[in-house]
Amino acid sequence: MFPTMDLDGIANQINEEENELNKTTLGRIFMINFIENKATIIMENGRPKECKIIEEKVKMYVQVLLRTAYEKFKIYKDTEFGMTYFNYRGQRNLPQGFMESEIKREIEKSLLKLNVVERIQDFSAKLTSVEFKCNFEIILKDGQTVRIEGG
Protein backbone atom coordinates (compact mmCIF):
# COMPACT_ATOMS: atom_id res chain seq x y z
CA MET A 1 0.00 0.00 0.00
CA PHE A 2 2.84 2.40 0.84
CA PRO A 3 5.72 2.89 -1.59
CA THR A 4 9.06 1.47 -0.54
CA MET A 5 12.26 3.42 -0.86
CA ASP A 6 15.86 2.32 -0.50
CA LEU A 7 16.89 5.06 1.93
CA ASP A 8 20.29 3.50 2.64
CA GLY A 9 21.06 3.39 -1.08
CA ILE A 10 19.96 6.99 -1.56
CA ALA A 11 22.05 8.13 1.44
CA ASN A 12 25.12 6.28 0.10
CA GLN A 13 24.66 7.84 -3.33
CA ILE A 14 24.40 11.33 -1.83
CA ASN A 15 27.53 10.74 0.28
CA GLU A 16 29.49 9.51 -2.75
CA GLU A 17 28.42 12.52 -4.82
CA GLU A 18 29.31 14.87 -1.97
CA ASN A 19 32.73 13.25 -1.58
CA GLU A 20 33.38 13.64 -5.32
CA LEU A 21 32.46 17.34 -5.14
CA ASN A 22 34.91 17.87 -2.26
CA LYS A 23 37.85 16.37 -4.17
CA THR A 24 40.84 18.51 -5.08
CA THR A 25 41.62 18.90 -8.76
CA LEU A 26 45.27 18.98 -9.78
CA GLY A 27 45.77 22.27 -11.57
CA ARG A 28 49.04 23.71 -12.80
CA ILE A 29 51.96 22.07 -11.04
CA PHE A 30 55.53 23.17 -11.67
CA MET A 31 58.53 20.85 -11.62
CA ILE A 32 60.74 21.30 -8.59
CA ASN A 33 64.21 19.90 -8.04
CA PHE A 34 64.92 18.96 -4.42
CA ILE A 35 68.67 18.94 -3.77
CA GLU A 36 69.89 18.71 -0.18
CA ASN A 37 66.37 19.62 1.01
CA LYS A 38 66.38 22.86 -0.95
CA ALA A 39 63.66 23.37 -3.51
CA THR A 40 64.55 24.88 -6.87
CA ILE A 41 61.94 25.43 -9.55
CA ILE A 42 63.06 23.99 -12.87
CA MET A 43 63.07 26.67 -15.56
CA GLU A 44 62.56 26.20 -19.30
CA ASN A 45 62.91 29.13 -21.71
CA GLY A 46 62.78 31.58 -18.81
CA ARG A 47 59.55 30.15 -17.40
CA PRO A 48 58.81 27.56 -14.73
CA LYS A 49 58.52 24.12 -16.34
CA GLU A 50 55.06 22.61 -15.86
CA CYS A 51 54.30 18.97 -15.24
CA LYS A 52 52.52 17.80 -18.37
CA ILE A 53 51.08 14.40 -17.49
CA ILE A 54 49.05 13.28 -14.48
CA GLU A 55 51.80 10.94 -13.22
CA GLU A 56 54.30 13.83 -13.08
CA LYS A 57 51.75 16.03 -11.30
CA VAL A 58 50.98 13.38 -8.69
CA LYS A 59 54.69 12.69 -8.08
CA MET A 60 55.46 16.38 -7.64
CA TYR A 61 52.42 16.84 -5.37
CA VAL A 62 53.65 13.97 -3.17
CA GLN A 63 57.22 15.33 -3.07
CA VAL A 64 55.98 18.73 -1.88
CA LEU A 65 53.52 17.12 0.56
CA LEU A 66 56.23 14.98 2.18
CA ARG A 67 58.56 17.96 2.60
CA THR A 68 55.97 20.38 4.01
CA ALA A 69 55.25 20.60 7.73
CA TYR A 70 51.54 20.71 8.52
CA GLU A 71 50.25 24.30 8.37
CA LYS A 72 53.77 25.72 8.67
CA PHE A 73 53.27 28.30 5.93
CA LYS A 74 50.43 30.81 5.67
CA ILE A 75 49.55 29.63 2.18
CA TYR A 76 48.60 26.21 3.59
CA LYS A 77 46.56 27.48 6.57
CA ASP A 78 43.15 25.79 6.78
CA THR A 79 43.95 23.49 3.83
CA GLU A 80 45.12 20.48 5.86
CA PHE A 81 48.15 20.28 3.54
CA GLY A 82 51.41 18.99 4.96
CA MET A 83 52.72 16.29 7.25
CA THR A 84 53.01 16.09 11.04
CA TYR A 85 55.80 13.47 11.09
CA PHE A 86 58.24 16.30 11.78
CA ASN A 87 56.79 16.28 15.33
CA TYR A 88 57.83 12.63 15.79
CA ARG A 89 61.52 13.11 15.01
CA GLY A 90 63.65 12.29 18.01
CA GLN A 91 60.77 10.61 19.86
CA ARG A 92 62.32 7.42 21.19
CA ASN A 93 59.24 6.38 23.15
CA LEU A 94 57.04 6.00 20.04
CA PRO A 95 57.14 2.57 18.38
CA GLN A 96 58.24 2.48 14.73
CA GLY A 97 54.97 0.71 13.85
CA PHE A 98 52.92 3.57 15.27
CA MET A 99 54.91 6.17 13.36
CA GLU A 100 54.64 4.19 10.12
CA SER A 101 50.88 3.75 10.45
CA GLU A 102 50.37 7.43 11.32
CA ILE A 103 52.46 8.55 8.34
CA LYS A 104 50.53 6.18 6.06
CA ARG A 105 47.22 7.52 7.39
CA GLU A 106 48.26 11.12 6.73
CA ILE A 107 49.54 10.40 3.23
CA GLU A 108 46.43 8.37 2.38
CA LYS A 109 44.13 11.09 3.71
CA SER A 110 45.87 13.77 1.65
CA LEU A 111 46.10 11.75 -1.56
CA LEU A 112 42.53 10.48 -1.49
CA LYS A 113 41.41 14.12 -1.59
CA LEU A 114 42.77 14.28 -5.14
CA ASN A 115 40.20 13.53 -7.82
CA VAL A 116 42.64 11.29 -9.74
CA VAL A 117 43.72 8.93 -6.92
CA GLU A 118 41.97 5.61 -6.29
CA ARG A 119 44.16 4.20 -3.48
CA ILE A 120 47.71 3.63 -2.24
CA GLN A 121 49.34 0.24 -1.73
CA ASP A 122 52.63 -1.47 -0.79
CA PHE A 123 53.41 1.19 1.81
CA SER A 124 56.54 1.18 3.95
CA ALA A 125 58.13 4.01 5.93
CA LYS A 126 61.11 4.54 8.19
CA LEU A 127 61.54 7.63 10.33
CA THR A 128 64.71 8.30 12.30
CA SER A 129 65.98 11.43 13.98
CA VAL A 130 67.94 12.36 10.84
CA GLU A 131 66.00 10.99 7.88
CA PHE A 132 62.62 9.93 6.57
CA LYS A 133 62.18 7.32 3.85
CA CYS A 134 58.96 5.92 2.45
CA ASN A 135 57.97 3.79 -0.51
CA PHE A 136 54.51 3.17 -1.89
CA GLU A 137 52.45 2.93 -5.05
CA ILE A 138 49.59 5.22 -5.97
CA ILE A 139 46.86 3.67 -8.08
CA LEU A 140 45.15 6.30 -10.20
CA LYS A 141 41.50 6.14 -11.22
CA ASP A 142 42.53 5.52 -14.83
CA GLY A 143 44.37 2.37 -13.69
CA GLN A 144 47.93 3.70 -13.97
CA THR A 145 50.42 3.23 -11.15
CA VAL A 146 52.78 5.89 -9.79
CA ARG A 147 55.70 4.59 -7.71
CA ILE A 148 57.03 6.85 -4.94
CA GLU A 149 60.47 6.04 -3.51
CA GLY A 150 62.54 7.97 -1.03
CA GLY A 151 61.12 10.78 0.96
Give the domain CATH number at 144. Answer: 3.10.450.40
Which structural domain range is residue 142 located in? 28-150
- Kindly give the confidence (pLDDT) of every residue in the chain, 151 residues in length, as a single tens digit, with 9 standing for 90 and above: 566 666 566 666 665 555 554 567 788 889 998 887 788 889 999 999 999 999 999 999 999 888 888 877 888 787 788 888 777 777 777 777 888 888 899 999 989 988 899 999 999 888 776 778 889 999 999 999 999 987 6
Q: Could you tell me the pTM of the whole model?
A: 0.77
Say how far apart CA 86 and CA 24 lie, in whole Å: 24
Q: Report yes or no on 17 lying in a domain.
A: no
CA nearest to 67, candidates 32, 18, 98:
32
Q: Report yes or no on 10 lying in a domain.
A: no
Say how far apart CA 18 and CA 124 lie, in whole Å: 31
Q: Report yes or no on 9 lying in a domain.
A: no
